[in-house]
Amino acid sequence: MIALFTGCLAISFSSCRDQKTQQEELIEDMRDQGADIKVKEDKIKMETEDEKVKIKTDDEGNTKIKQKEE
């Protein structure tokens, strides 16, 4: 009984921590590409030679992502 309970807890904790938001994945990808990253209070601007990405968060916590390939 204890082993079953421990197993269920381990699975529930490990499945939650690996989930990344689209914003986190995009930042990680741009960082891997060597992008110039500028962070302001509510904006993140990232730029490589081929791509520009802007991430903006409003006061309510909504996120807008704009991607532009050159």
Q: How many CB atoms lie within 10 A of CB 27?
A: 19
User: What is the Cα–Cα distance from 38 to 43, expressed in whole angstroms?
Assistant: 8
Amino acid 64 reads K
pTM confidence score: 0.63
* pLDDT per residue of the chain (70 residues) written in tens, 0 to 9: 888 878 777 776 665 555 677 888 888 888 888 889 898 888 999 998 888 999 998 888 888 888 888 7
Within a 13 Å sphere around the CA of 65, how many CA atoms are in the beta-carbon half? 9
27 in Cβ contact with 33 (< 8 Å): no
